[in-house]
């Protein structure tokens, strides 16, 4: 039996609050929380750490031990981990590209021997009997799994908060959201506990926490990686797995390594992307959402500044309109409500004690709204599927589209809490998550990278590049170019 412990059983290390003492433990400067230290785990990204392990400069066991200690150092401030393995699980294939790199799996993906809780209080999770297909693919890269990270209930929210219990906090400013639904993974990577972590995306859940926490977040093309169990049951498959990382090469290395385990023959291979391309691109600029939501001043400035950088690098940037059906937002919410309804109906498959009345306010509200609108389902599905045509039309003559990830900067905790009355919460969600869902409906790849600009509180702002199906290579090459032009800030080097 695999040994695991709820993270709540940990006793946290004493708090270290001065930057001068960061080599001895956790460093907090201006309320920032990080565990970067002058050692292999602190000095390297995932690719660099794997290289150091191969050279014998550090062992995989040492890297796992050091990462686990870092998690313990920050967990009482960030609350990012759901389950911690007492004995880290090393990959069966030690020769993978990321061999020995410590990481976490998100708690909506089965990992043999660990419970899968989906962030919900509606049931008591049981230990998974086997790895999910993506978990096997993730392990094939050589990573060492240390446990599972938190997410909001069933991944429905763009912030990792709960009706009861501590939210996941943003290491750049713990009073703010770390994003969702892969908020736990993003918090651990941003604070320096691990260099890379599993994330998945059904409406922005890789890109949103990446934007909130200053990370690289690539949502691959639908079908690029192994499908998860939830995907196979959906009328429109919107879920794609991937990672969040601090460097472009880590996201590129993950995708190339994953492709060695499984490659979809219907998509062009990506291969290992190792740097920028000489090709100059024609890039569309979208500052306001197709559904009419205007981005706030900081977000708009970050996107426009990125556009100027791209022009300075020789790319062509021009305004673009995406001719998305004006009913898209309402249709997507109806579809989201359908998913909540289906979970309520089939929840006993997750646990025999499942009680949909214990689902949180957002999940209940989505389900109840769907029950009022269920007769519109056929029309909703038809219109959502036609979004592919509008998306393709918007890309005519373009290689990529640049836009915000989110319509406004990272909110304080509580603004999007499931305790907020549903009508108010949905209005806030629509005004926040105004750009990312289109890529999920269409199935196209999309990448969040940090902008140069931050908020007055020092919080990162993400910008997003979207592409045609199968064009991950183009996204990664451009991200490499932006990173080389000006390295992305981290909490070690803000």
pLDDT in tens, 116-173: 999 999 999 999 999 999 999 999 999 999 999 999 999 999 999 999 999 999 999 9
Higher-pLDDT residue of 356 and 24 is 356
Residue 470's pLDDT is: 98
CB 224 within 8 A of CB 472: yes
Q: Which residues belong to the active site?
A: 106, 181, 205
Domains of the chain: 4-20+28-485 (3.90.1300.10)
Residue 4's pLDDT is: 64
Higher-pLDDT residue of 13 and 393 is 393
pTM for the whole structure: 0.95
Higher-pLDDT residue of 29 and 90 is 90
Residue 380's pLDDT is: 98
pLDDT-above-70 percentage for the chain: 92
What DSSP line would sit under 136-170, residue for residue? HHHHHTT-EEEEEE--SGGG-SSS---SSSPPPEE
The residues that bridge with 84 in the sheet, in sequence order, are 5, 147
Scanning 91-219, the segments in alpha helix (DSSP H) are 133-140, 183-190, 207-213
Rounded to the nearest integer, the mean pLDDT of the chain is: 93
Q: What is the average pLDDT across 321-345? A: 96
Residue 286's pLDDT is: 98
Residue 19's pLDDT is: 32
Residue 22 has pLDDT above 60, yes or no: no
All residues at 6 or more sequence positions from 325 whose CB lies less than 8 Å from its CB, including other chains: 331, 383, 386, 387, 390
Residue 54's pLDDT is: 95
Residue 278's pLDDT is: 98
pLDDT in tens, 6-16: 543 333 332 33
* Half-sphere exposure for 205 (CA within 13 Å, toward CB): 29
Residue 232's pLDDT is: 75
């Amino acid at each position: 039996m695999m040994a695991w412990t709820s993270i709540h059983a940990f006793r946290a290390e004493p708090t270290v609050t001065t930057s001068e003492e960061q080599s001895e433990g956790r460093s907090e400067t201006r309320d920032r929380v990080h565990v970067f230290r002058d050692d292999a785990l602190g000095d390297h990204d995932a690719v660099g750490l794997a290289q150091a392990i191969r050279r014998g400069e550090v062992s995989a066991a040492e890297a796992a031990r050091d990462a686990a200690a870092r998690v313990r150092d920050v967990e009482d401030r960030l609350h990012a981990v759901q389950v911690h393995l007492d004995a880290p699980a090393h990959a069966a294939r030690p020769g993978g590209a990321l061999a020995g790199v410590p990481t976490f799996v998100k708690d909506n993906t089965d990992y043999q021997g660990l419970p899968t809780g989906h962030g919900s209080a509606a049931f008591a999770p049981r230990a998974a009997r086997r790895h999910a297909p993506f978990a096997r693919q993730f392990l094939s890269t050589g990573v060492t799994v240390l446990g599972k990270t938190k997410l909001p209930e069933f991944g429905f929210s763009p912030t990792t908060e709960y009706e009861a219990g501590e939210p996941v906090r943003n290491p750049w400013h713990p009073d703010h959201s770390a994003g969702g639904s892969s908020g736990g993974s993003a918090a651990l990577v941003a604070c320096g506990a691990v260099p890379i972590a599993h994330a998945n995306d059904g409406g922005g859940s890789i890109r949103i926490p990446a934007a909130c926490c200053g990370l690289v977040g690539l949502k691959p093309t639908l079908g690029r990686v192994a499908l998860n169990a939830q995907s196979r049951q959906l009328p429109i498959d919107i879920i794609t797995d991937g990672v969040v990382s601090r460097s472009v090469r880590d996201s590129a290395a993950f995708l190339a390594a994953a492709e060695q385990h499984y490659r979809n023959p219907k998509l062009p291979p990506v291969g290992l992307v190792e740097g920028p391309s000489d090709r100059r691109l024609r890039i569309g600029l979208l500052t306001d959402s197709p559904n009419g939501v205007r981005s706030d001043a900081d977000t708009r400035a970050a996107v426009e500044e990125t556009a100027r950088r791209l022009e300075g690098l020789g790319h062509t940037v021009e305004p673009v309109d995406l001719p998305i059906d004006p009913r898209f937002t309402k249709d997507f919410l109806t579809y989201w409500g359908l998913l909540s309804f289906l979970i309520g109906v089939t929840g006993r498959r997750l646990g025999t004690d499942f009680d949909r009345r214990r689902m949180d306010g957002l999940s209940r509200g989505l389900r109840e709204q769907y029950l009022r609108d269920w007769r519109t389902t056929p029309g909703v599905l038809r219109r959502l599927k036609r979004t592919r045509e509008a998306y393709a039309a918007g890309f005519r003559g373009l290689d990529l589209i640049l836009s915000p990830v989110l319509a406004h900067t990272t909110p304080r905790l509580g603004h999007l809490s499931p305790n907020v009355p549903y009508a108010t919460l949905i209005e806030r969600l629509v005004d926040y998550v105004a750009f990312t869902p289109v890529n999920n409906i269409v199935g196209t790849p999309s990448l969040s990278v940090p902008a140069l600009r931050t908020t007055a509180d020092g919080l990162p702002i993400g910008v997003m590049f979207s592409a045609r199906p199968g064009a991950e290579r183009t996204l990664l090459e451009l991200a490499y170019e932006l990173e080389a032009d000006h390295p992305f800030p981290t909490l070690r080097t803000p």
